Structure 1
Amino acid sequence: MYSLGFDIGSSSVKVALLDVTTGKAVNSAFYPKEEMAILSPQAEWAEQNPSDWWNNLKLALKDVLAASDIDKSTIKSIGISYQMHGLVTVDKNGEVLRPAIIWCDSRAIEYGNRAFEEIGEEHCLSHMLNSPGNFTASKLKWIKENEPETFARIHKIMLPGDYIAYKLSGDIVTTKGGLSEGIFWDFKTQTVSKELLNNYGFSEGVIPTIKETFEIQGLLSSETAKELDLNPGIAISYRAGDQPNNALSLNVLNPGEVAATAGTSGVVYGVSDQLKYDPASRINTFAHVNHTNIDNRLGVMLCINGTGILNSWLRKNVAADLDYVQMNHEAEAVKPGSDGLLMLPFGNGAERVLKNENPGATVKNLNFNLHRRGHLLRAAQEGIAFSFKYGMEVMEQTGIETNVIRAGKANMFLSPVFRQTLSDISGSTIELYETDGALGAARGAAYGAGLYNSIEEAFSSLEKVEVISPIPENIDALEVAYENWKRELI
């Protein structure tokens, strides 16, 4: 038996095929080969056409099926991972009314800030665990205030993953996890927040039927099966936002477990069983994939915008003659602490962990007689690791103790300098795995469809490929560098 995983990102759509029996990936593919277009009609706006997600899904799926010598009737489940916080609106005929407003769009900030005050900071934080901020609910409020004709035609709202599931099955449904990502969910009443709906002037009728994360949420329709060259009736049995799904992909499900990613931006995602929050909203808390009304499983999420994008900028502008492996070698030739050179990586927009400040990237203590290019390359990677450590200190205030970090062996975690620095400065062991979001979604779907008897069984074949532990002799120099780095930040 086989399970498909669809990972709907803002850059590309990835499809993976999992052999349920062996727990191994059969094939995977992604489209487009260049980054998907993001529309920006005005500054700070970011939109995508949902049809682009669907068309790229079809292309990636076609490649996977062509490369896989399997009987399609043995594909029994489909799981979906998706970019968080987006907003898709459809009319009574299920037609998309406008381009989706995606996660990195900033137009709705003022509406979220106003609702935070009007509903009450204490109520928002204790019930929804977040400020309404710039999340999905506030984006819908923006449409209501600025595109009233469109708002009047809205039959249902969807997150990006809900839309893909709708295209597959014809059923418009969502999950508690998705609603919590949009800041619609009240964790104390275990319902959609009446206070938020009333404040924003939304009818509860725009909210789709709510399903569990792991269950059969719909079946592949005959019409869509023909379009995708699949058999009808395949169970759509899992969906989650990309960061909760990344944690699932790494088998991070229980209180005290932590997952991380470090691509263009970076995320540390810890699981808690406590309804806690950061009063300054520097980190966010959402329902994790295995959250229930009985057992709290909350994902506490730190996001750093300026992560791999700094390393990429250096390659383009400082080390154009090197590839990333060569950059890492040059950085490794410099001792920990970079001989006093410091770099703050915050050059990719306002940082939530800095209370939405945008200080920009900074290089400090540059000495023309001492520092070489290798110092810049190492200081950048140390600065990224320091930003993770800074955010992890905020996370500790909500009960997330980071002793072991699990990550996919990809992006910045391919760098020995970055991963060793993060291990040394955080005191954490880092475990690396060969997995990704599409494969995690396929595993989740197989469990949701009953192809595995437990989540533990679904992840029994997940292989740890490398372990990084703190090196004691590095720690003193890095702790001095980190304290100096924090002083520059403050």
Structure 2
Amino acid sequence: MIAERKKRFLLGIDVGTSAVKAALVDADTQEVVASVSCPEGVEREIKSARQGWAEQDPEQWWADVKTAILWLRERAGANLEAVEAIGITYQMHGLVLTDAQQNLLRDAIIWCDSRALQEGVAAVDAIGAERCLQQLLNYPGNFTAAKLAWVKDHEPDVYAKIDKVMLPGDYIALRLSNTVTSTVSMLSEGVFWDFKEQALSRDILDFFGFNPGLFGTTQAVFSTHGVLSAAMARELQMKPGTPITYKAGDQLNNALSLNVLKPGEIATTAGTSGVIYAVTDQLVYDPLSRINGFAHVNHLPEQTRIGLLLCINGAGISNRWIRDSTGAKYSYAQMNEMAAAVPAGADGLLYFPFGNGAERMLENRILQAGFAGIDLNKHTTAHLYRAVQEGIAFAFRYGLDIMRSNGLQAKVVKAGKANLFLSRVFAEVFVNVTGLTLELYDTDASVGAAIGAGIGLGIYTEANAFEKLHRAAVMAPEAGQRQRYETIYQDWLQQTDQQIFQNK
């Protein structure tokens, strides 16, 4: 009689803007045993007390993480004490602050918040634009360092109590393990890292007056970032001492989940924001900092791996907004069907997916979202849905042209079959307006985090971690469709340029 194989699992946690997702993966087969999203059927709100502000409560993230883990146990019918390691991915560029007792000091200032632009500009003026780009690969902009400076300037009582500065995933790791660590990837995405010196940036620390002790110990992405505390193990019905062996920002993790690890490979995602992410082995930067370079998950002192990131703030959030604004009567799948029944170009209706904070690809300008060409006698709700998806795809093309002007030559892009890429309309417009061949894979961020945990634990290597990654579909541009969408895009581009000119 053959003994039944003893199960061992990997737990992946994705702390997103709209929800927390979690996946339980069989460590030996890489089969997804169960996956959940918390909350279900709704999306977490972004607090915006003033125009350009964006905050969320880390305690809500933590509550959702715990709920998601307990749901996994219930739905999988699995013993979570068999989890060998935990991986965490998270919305990038946020700012979480705690005191010496690990208490939160304020809500998190998240990625799309624009309040710290002036602090970022002041740093560039003082340090020098060229030095910022050469050493940091970015302008400080409104990244985490500038957000921390804003707190220092505007909330000195809060700043005085800070013991540790974290990104969203670091806070979840803290709650699980009572441990705070940093990585080069985390520090670089906050624009705290000097790539030439391979250390915390003295320029940033000195100009803003930050104490280096505010950050956790710097270590590799694939390493132990704490172990599950006894108290949390009891509450979550898991094994105490379970290690957290992977922690990375969402776009780095999306690339990992798609096996985008080598120079020349690119990934894309269209969740709350839209991103194109290209890996290079050079310390390169855009002269206007419209695209940004961060240390990839496999970046090491002896192995340069930089992820060049193009971000569009108003992607999936635009799709959610139009759904809510039309009464939330239809599911996203129904919206996709309605959009598909409308001809390309939405009968002249154009949408501009801005209005979610300062757009880095527009040199940190704050433009508003909007429609153009509305015909009250022609356009229906279905036209609105199609125009929104086309407008988001056009914004991808706009940013891709910036990346191409910086030397990107890729012809194939990988994406998870999720979010907007579930829409045939969006995927069709995307490939034909960009000219890229799109490969869609059956994976998501929480699964990627679980695989990352397996790499960190040593179960997998970079070479074999993705042998079972399944390619679900391939979409290639078509000559006739390319010409059709190019005409529509040029109209969209002209009107976008007019908005940019008016906001100079």
> TM-score normalised by the shorter chain: which range applies?
over 0.9
**Which of the residues 8, 16, 19 maps onto 1:12?**
19
Cα offset, 1:318, TM superposition: 5.8
Would the alpha carbon gap of residues 434 and 146 (structure 1) be closer, same or farther in structure 2, given more than 3 Å must change? same
2:420 corresponds to which letter in structure 1? Answer: M
Q: What residue in structure 2 maps to residue 186 of structure 1?
A: 194
Cα offset, 1:47, TM superposition: 2.9
Cα offset, 1:430, TM superposition: 0.7
1:384 and 2:392 are equivalent in the alignment: yes
Cα offset, 1:256, TM superposition: 1.7
Cα offset, 1:390, TM superposition: 0.9
1:98 and 2:110 are equivalent in the alignment: no
1:358 corresponds to which letter in structure 2? Answer: I
1:117-196 to 2 correspondences below 5 Å: 117-196=125-204
Q: What residue in structure 2 maps to residue 458 of structure 1?
A: 465
Q: In the alignment, is the contact (CA less than 8 A) between 1:351 and 1:358 conserved in 2?
A: yes
Cα distance between partner residues in 1 of 2:46 and 2:326:
27
Q: Percent of aligned positions with the same letter in both sequences?
A: 49
Cα distance between partner residues in 2 of 1:481 and 1:333:
18
1:476 and 2:483 are equivalent in the alignment: yes
Cα offset, 1:326, TM superposition: 4.4
RMSD across aligned C-alpha pairs, in angstroms? 2.3
Q: Which blocks of at least 5 consecutive residues in structure 2 are unaligned? A: 1-7, 498-504
Would the alpha carbon gap of residues 167 and 458 (structure 1) be closer, same or farther in structure 2, given more than 3 Å must change? same
Cα offset, 1:44, TM superposition: 3.1
Q: Which blocks of at least 5 consecutive residues in structure 1 are unaligned? A: none
1:23 corresponds to which letter in structure 2? Answer: Q
Cα distance between partner residues in 1 of 2:362 and 2:242:
45
Q: In the alignment, is the contact (CA less than 8 A) between 2:115 and 2:142 conserved in 1?
A: yes
Cα offset, 1:255, TM superposition: 1.5
Cα offset, 1:338, TM superposition: 4.6
Find the residue that maps to 1:220 and give its secondary structure. Answer: coil
**Which of the residues 290, 293, 296 maps onto 1:285?**
293
Cα offset, 1:317, TM superposition: 4.8
1:484 corresponds to which letter in structure 2? Answer: D
Cα distance between partner residues in 1 of 2:361 and 2:348:
25
Q: What residue in structure 2 maps to residue 299 of structure 1?
A: 307
Q: In the alignment, is the contact (CA less than 8 A) between 2:112 and 2:356 conserved in 1?
A: no
User: How many residues align structurally?
Assistant: 489
Q: In the alignment, is the contact (CA less than 8 A) between 1:346 and 1:360 conserved in 2?
A: yes
**Which of the residues 195, 213, 218 maps onto 2:226?**
218
Find the residue that maps to 2:225 and give its secondary structure. Answer: strand
Cα distance between partner residues in 1 of 2:45 and 2:340:
36
Find the residue that maps to 1:270 and give its secondary structure. Answer: strand
Q: In the alignment, is the contact (CA less than 8 A) between 1:272 and 1:400 conserved in 2?
A: no
Cα offset, 1:322, TM superposition: 5.3
Cα offset, 1:42, TM superposition: 4.0
Would the alpha carbon gap of residues 126 and 380 (structure 1) be closer, same or farther in structure 2, given more than 3 Å must change? same
2:470 corresponds to which letter in structure 1? Answer: E
Would the alpha carbon gap of residues 217 and 98 (structure 1) be closer, same or farther in structure 2, given more than 3 Å must change? same
Q: In the alignment, is the contact (CA less than 8 A) between 2:52 and 2:357 conserved in 1?
A: no
Cα distance between partner residues in 1 of 2:44 and 2:277:
26
Q: What residue in structure 2 maps to residue 76 of structure 1?
A: 84
Cα distance between partner residues in 1 of 2:46 and 2:347:
40
Would the alpha carbon gap of residues 156 and 370 (structure 1) be closer, same or farther in structure 2, given more than 3 Å must change? closer
1:56-67 to 2 correspondences below 5 Å: 56-67=64-75
1:251 and 2:231 are equivalent in the alignment: no
Cα distance between partner residues in 2 of 1:320 and 1:147:
38
Cα offset, 1:443, TM superposition: 0.4
Cα distance between partner residues in 1 of 2:384 and 2:45:
32
**Which of the residues 42, 45, 52 maps onto 1:44?**
52
Cα distance between partner residues in 2 of 1:99 and 1:141:
16
1:273 corresponds to which letter in structure 2? Answer: D
Using the TM superposition, name which of 77-86 and 363-372 deviates more: 363-372
Cα distance between partner residues in 1 of 2:232 and 2:330:
46
Cα distance between partner residues in 2 of 1:221 and 1:64:
19
Find the residue that maps to 2:224 and give its secondary structure. Answer: strand
1:18 corresponds to which letter in structure 2? Answer: V
Cα offset, 1:365, TM superposition: 4.8
2:424 corresponds to which letter in structure 1? Answer: P
Q: In the alignment, is the contact (CA less than 8 A) between 2:18 and 2:272 conserved in 1?
A: no
Q: What residue in structure 1 maps to residue 268 of structure 2?
A: 260
Q: In the alignment, is the contact (CA less than 8 A) between 1:271 and 1:400 conserved in 2?
A: no
**Which of the residues 94, 108, 111 maps onto 2:116?**
108
